[in-house]
Structure 1
Amino acid sequence: MRSAQAQTDLASGRLWSQLLRFKQEGFLLGAGSPSGSDVHVSSSSIVQGHAYSLLQVREVDGHKLVQVRNPWTNEVEWNGFWADSSPEWT
């Protein structure tokens, strides 16, 4: 997501359109965090150097949401916006 092309695709909405289309067509979707040791966790609880599965891609009330699953299912869980207990859900 740091490359110039990725930033262009993100800003133009092309990446979002592709994600929606891929999900609708039944593609298996995944994402990876920046490289690093899996013992390093970001402030939002994203494990570095880790792969995630994308379970859902939806737009709800103008919010573009991607449900991401950590296949390790360990104690590290997303704690940023739209986390399970975040106020955005209300």
Structure 2
Amino acid sequence: MDVLLGNVKDNLRGFVLKAARLRALEDDEELFGSGLVTSLFAMQLIEYIEKDYPIVVDGDDMNLRTFKSVNTVSEFVVRKLAESAGSRNGK
């Protein structure tokens, strides 16, 4: 597993567990479809991501596919980080 992806997953899982007051959470468990979290929580998660990582979550990024699970959110964050690094390096 990619080290960065693993670190992002650990970080996001910890946030979700604490913020949603959950005892356990599988990385592929649906966050919204299962009713674990609410739309208000989605905004908290986006705020957390933008505060913790040097990325911006655009309106096009705000969808259930991106925020389906810890896995999908982590993959999204890593992809945005790579895009951001590419932009800064002139790519």
TM-score with structure 2 length normalisation? 0.29
Larger Rg: 1
Q: Normalized against structure 1, the TM-score is what?
A: 0.29
Query: Counting strand residues as a fraction of each chain, which structure ranks higher?
Result: 1
Query: When you count helix as a share of all residues, which structure comes out higher?
Result: 2
